[in-house]
Chain A
Amino acid sequence: MAGPRDWEISRRDLMVGAGAGAVLAATPKLAEAGASLASETRMPTLASVSFTVNGEGRRLEVDTRTTLLDALRERLQLTGTKKGCDHGQCGACTVIVDGHRINSCLTLAVMHEGSEVTTIEGLGQPENLHPMQAAFVKHDGFQCGYCTPGQICSAVAVLDEIKAGIPSHVTVELDGELLPTSDEIRERMSGNICRCGAYSNIVDAMAEVAGRRA
């Protein structure tokens, strides 16, 4: 009843901590301190999860509260993925999961059993840049660099989304051909905030990569 314990498989892949509700029973002394305390202090639940990150299988024991973002940054020490707001309001934490870009701050690590995760580290390395990374350097599509990994992960996914024919807010004809125009790029990249204001250069970088691919 006392401490965290490992996850054990039970009915419905149950991951529970120490008994129903996982509530820490109040010690007599604590109970004197305040009746509300018992319902507030809960023991963490540990769970194990396996997923692939940048092509490599990883298995982690995590506190169920651990976001995919913190699992990457703190447990796997893949700190290229950034925490700008931790609330889905900035896009710095963008990674590509099973082919789709998502905010890694708003999903739990335990929800990604079997997922394939690609982070900025997986796209390219300093000596071996992904074409999008190279275009960002060439067009100076960043300044402080903090939003940059998220911008680049988004940028790569955005060009794929356009190719796949997924419409956007600025798409004029819902049944027409989709092209990586500047307007389409700007709208689709709007979930990645850059306070340094490198937007104009990022669009140039993406247009170059889109042109090269076309």
Chain B
Amino acid sequence: MKAFSYERARTPAEAAAAAAEHEDAKFIAGGTNLLDLMKLEIETPAHLIDVNGLALDTIETTPEGGLKIGALVRNTDLAAHKRVRKDYALLTRALMAGASGQLRNKATTAGNLLQRTRCPYFYDTAQPCNKRSPGSGCAAIGGFSRQLGLVGVSDACIATHPSDMGVAMRALDAVVETVKPDGETRTIPVAEFHRLPGDTPHVENALEKGELITAMTLPAPVGGKHVYRKVRDRASYAFALISVGAVVQPDGTGRVAIGGVAPKPWRVEAAEADMKRGAKAVADGLFANARPTHHNEFKRTLAERTLGSVLTEARG
């Protein structure tokens, strides 16, 4: 871990200003992914801005009847929140499927969205990785890629986004709220938040330098049956091979987002038109341009079968 200076910010504006002031600064909140990466020198900030003192840890009802979730709300608290359990059960289920109790107690809403891939080659600094070290190549393509992505990937990178929460947020049409160093605020639909790798896999999201996530907003509840199914080799404390988050209405329509298959929570709205026709039709739409590796081609079948099971449960 490279040495860094450290400060505690008290307001979003202060945090943003600090970020503008330092060439190589990072915000730190839960720290559960950032410190992990700093120990391996995959992240090497020279300055850390501790944003835990920002009063962004509340969940409020929006005028539209949705929820505004502070960026610093811990995963455990978000999952356990009464309104989330009642109206956005998909989010509770997804959060509780992720990581461990200890990590969920620390990890924040914004940090969860910003966590980086678990590609083992990204994590090994002796290996080439276009995401970690642009232009160095990709060892995962042609390497061990069982965990990695098959859709939305590129010749430069096949990493997946590991978040469970993100899958639920995508299915629930969440919106990210931010503040920039100059004090300007903006909103970014979560659908547009993560970037596909293309030739620049190191650019992972829409945030600009020094831009800080302040909240995520959920629109008014959409009702329906909420199911989150995470598929993994061991029963807990493991990243998803794939996951399926679905909201299914009594009439059989609904929404589906998939985790573990793409560089972002994967949802294709057009494919949802086929919900009534069943899992195969939806999966065909979700994976229309899939380019699996030999190691991860099973994920296509797995996703379709899991979706089928989820739809059965939702309709049952």
The CA of A14 and the CA of B32, in the complex, are separated in Å by: 22
B182: interface (CB < 8 Å): no
Report if A190-B5 is in contact (Cβ < 8 Å); known contacts: A103-B106, A166-B76: no
Among B39, B92, B101, chain A packs the most CB atoms within 10 A around the CB of: B101
* Interface flag for B56 (CB, 8 Å): no
Interface majority SS (helix, strand, loop, mixed), chain A: mixed
Q: Which residues of B contact A12 (CB under 8 A)?
A: 7-10, 14, 18
Give the shortest distance, in Å, between B63 (CB) and chain A (any CB).
Answer: 26
Smallest CB-CB separation from B234: which chain A residue?
A190
Contact, CB under 8 Å: A67 / B5? no
Interchain pairs with CB closer than 8 A, number: 145
- Name A103's closest neighbour in chain B (CB-CB): B102
Tell whether A84 is near chain B: CB-to-CB under 8 Å.
no
B8, A13: Cβ atoms closer than 8 Å: yes
Which positions 12-66 of chain B face chain A at CB distance < 8 Å?
14, 18, 22-24, 28, 31-32, 35-36, 39, 46-48, 50, 52
Identify which of A40, A43, A174, A186 gathers the most chain B CB atoms within 10 Å of its CB: A174
Partner among B22, B76, B92, B105 whose Cβ is within 8 Å of the Cβ of A20: B22
Assembled-state Cα–Cα distance A165/B85 (Å): 12
Instruction: Flag if B101 contacts A157 (CB, 8 Å).
Output: yes
Given A44-B3, A64-B6, A191-B100, are A106 and B236 also a contact pair (CB < 8 Å)?
no
Q: Which residue among A21, A47, A67, A103 has the maximum number of chain B CB atoms within 10 Å of its CB?
A: A103
Q: B86 contacts the other chain (Cβ, under 8 Å)?
A: yes
Contact mask for chain B residues 107-149; partner A; CB cutoff 8 A; 1 contact, 0 none: 0000000000000000000000000000000000000000000
A21, B86: Cα distance in complex, Å: 47
SS of B interface (majority):
mixed
A47 and B46 within 8 A (CB) = no
Chain A interface size band reads: 35 or more
Return chain A residues, CB-CB under 8 Å to B237. Answer: 190-191, 193
Please, could you name 24 A-B residue pairs with CB atoms under 8 Å apart, sorted by A? A12-B10, A14-B7, A21-B23, A21-B46, A21-B47, A22-B46, A23-B46, A42-B2, A63-B3, A64-B5, A64-B48, A65-B3, A87-B36, A87-B39, A88-B102, A102-B103, A108-B6, A111-B28, A154-B102, A167-B80, A169-B97, A174-B89, A187-B236, A191-B103
Interface residues of A (CB under 8 A from B): 12-17, 20-23, 40, 42-45, 47, 63-65, 67, 86-88, 91, 94, 100-103, 106-108, 110-111, 113, 154, 157-158, 161, 165-169, 171, 174-175, 186-188, 190-193
CB-CB nearest 8 A-B residue pairs:
A191-B100, A190-B236, A16-B5, A42-B3, A100-B105, A174-B85, A15-B6, A190-B237
Interface residues of B (CB under 8 A from A): 1-10, 14, 18, 22-24, 28, 31-32, 35-36, 39, 46-48, 50, 52, 76, 79-80, 85-86, 89, 92-93, 96-97, 99-103, 105-106, 235-237
